[in-house]
Amino acid sequence: MKNNFVCNFLKYVSFDTTAGEPQENKASCENQYVLGHYLVEQLKKYNPDILETNKFGTIHAVFKSKQDSDLKNSICLLAHMDTSPSCSGFNIKPRIIEKYDGKVIKLNDATSLNPNEFPSLNRCLGHSLIVTDGTTLLGGDDKAGIAIIMDLLTNFDRNTFKHSLEILFTTDEEIGVDAFHVDLDKLVSKYGYTIDGGDILYISNENFNAYSMVVTVKGISIHPGSAKDKMINAINVAMDFHNKLPKDQRPEHTEHKQGFYHLLDIKGNEELTTLTYIIRDFDLKELHKKIDYAKQIAQNINKTYNKGYDIVELSIEETYLNMKEALDKNPHIVQNVINSYKRLNLEYKMEAIRGGTTGAHLSFMGLPCANLGTGDYNCHGRYEFVDVDQALKMVEVLIDLFNN
Ligand SMILES: [Zn+2]
């Protein structure tokens, strides 16, 4: 199956765009610019009305439709160029499986995709799949999204489509800074869709509210031989703090709409120890309750030690918020997609994403965005695969969306 989508996708994943550490004035890895250059050359072939890139490598393009010459009905589609640092993206060797028969797929001698372990494979019977060789991720998150948007562009009829097409290919989504790499004042659309989900059954109108929390514990280090009643071991205090957080509210014990505290990192010694958390909840009130609870624990510890200064300090920052709030104010964004699904006789379910997307950030920066699937499964790891038939269905959904 060598269609336009597959050819583009295979080309895009040949660039290792694994995100690195966030940088002040540029993208986190050089290859995002190299892939970006390739994409810009592709976009040029379709005579864009606007085509620009910025220092972060973000690509912005606009293709006007004659039915929407003043760009009042323009729709923005977003996808990101980087891949997750959680798994290697170097030297990806994708393999195409035609007409998947429902059996175990051997990726290499030691690694297999087994439908018993990954029941989502049953959604892909008879479809063409693209899998890895079991040593790297695939990069379908989110190069499948880019290839879907490119495929829409090849079908984009400037004479008849009701909506103009605005494209944002962003950088460094996986490290959470992609939205800051976007020049918002240059956008012409009033809303958009992030093409960065999994199974196309799901339309996502919700995501977590997300905060980060850094807990700093200042101890008093004294030779352990003469430490009685003097030493405050910051490591022990940090462990006490952590153990007072509700254990059933950790990611490994939560699902669906339940929120959590997730300890990402702990480092330190007797003098100084820091704990880094992310806090998540779909309900903002519940999230603030979680924050208040953590503050209460810190206060109690400080009271116990009564040093005249706080030995435990919290630094809490908002990362992104639930896009539902912005989407509820603009119900047509989700409704228009549902209408397209219905016209194409496609089944759909609304889904709350237990994570964030570019669109979630942008929803609160003035561009409300829902999230749509790409047919990519098991992202961020070596079991990742793309269902090509689903990706092509999403192209059909978008064609319908731009036509109506
Ligand atoms: Zn993604």
Domain boundary among 290, 320, 350: 320
Say whether pLDDT at 2 is over 80: no
- Say if residues 81 and 169 touch (Cβ distance below 8 Å): yes
The predicted structure's pLDDT at residue 357: 81
- Say if residues 92 and 86 touch (Cβ distance below 8 Å): no
Over residues 336-362, the pLDDT tens digits come to 999 999 999 999 999 998 888 888 889
271 catalytic per annotation: no
Whole-number Cα distances in Å, 92 to 134, 135, 138, 382, 384: 9, 8, 6, 10, 11
Given 82, 141, 142, 270, which residue is catalytic? 82
Over residues 6-61, the pLDDT tens digits come to 999 999 999 999 999 999 999 999 999 999 999 999 999 999 999 999 999 999 99
The predicted structure's pLDDT at residue 365: 87
Mean pLDDT of 245-267: 95
Q: 174 C-alpha vs ligand 1 centroid, how far in Å?
A: 7
Mean pLDDT of 302-326: 94
Same domain, 273 and 228: yes
Closest by CA to 58, choosing from 212, 215, 169, 202, is 169
Backbone torsions φ then ψ of 101, nearest 5 degrees: -95, 5
Q: Residue 232 sits in a domain of what CATH number?
A: 3.30.70.360
Same domain, 49 and 31: yes
Same domain, 167 and 119: yes
The predicted structure's pLDDT at residue 327: 94
Across the strands, what pairs with 262? 278
Same domain, 186 and 244: no
Mean pLDDT of 181-210: 95
Q: 123 C-alpha vs ligand 1 centroid, how far in Å?
A: 21
Given 142, 166, 172, 173, which residue is catalytic? 173
- Where do we find the tokens 């960065």? 196
Same domain, 339 and 314: no
Same domain, 182 and 114: yes
Same domain, 352 and 225: no
Say how many CA atoms lie within 13 Å of 374 toward its Cβ: 35
Q: 273 C-alpha vs ligand 1 centroid, how far in Å?
A: 33
Domain boundary among 266, 289, 320: 320
| Helices and strands per DSSP (H, E), number in the chain | 9, 18
> What is the reported pTM?
0.87
Q: 196 C-alpha vs ligand 1 centroid, how far in Å?
A: 5
Same domain, 192 and 87: yes
Instruction: Determine the structural domain holding residue 316 and report its residue range.
Output: 209-320
Same domain, 196 and 263: no
Same domain, 197 and 91: yes
pLDDT-based confidence at 364, cuts 50/70/90?
Answer: confident
Domain boundary among 262, 295, 320: 320
pLDDT-based confidence at 1, cuts 50/70/90?
Answer: low
Q: 372 C-alpha vs ligand 1 centroid, how far in Å?
A: 11
Backbone torsions φ then ψ of 306, nearest 5 degrees: 45, 60
Q: Residue 179 sits in a domain of what CATH number?
A: 3.40.630.10
Q: pLDDT > 90: what percent of the chain? A: 93
- For residue 181, what are its two tokens? 């790499």
141 catalytic per annotation: no
Same domain, 280 and 162: no
Say whether pLDDT at 120 is over 90: yes
Which H or E run contains 204? strand 202-207
Q: Based on the structure, what is the number of domains in the chain? A: 2
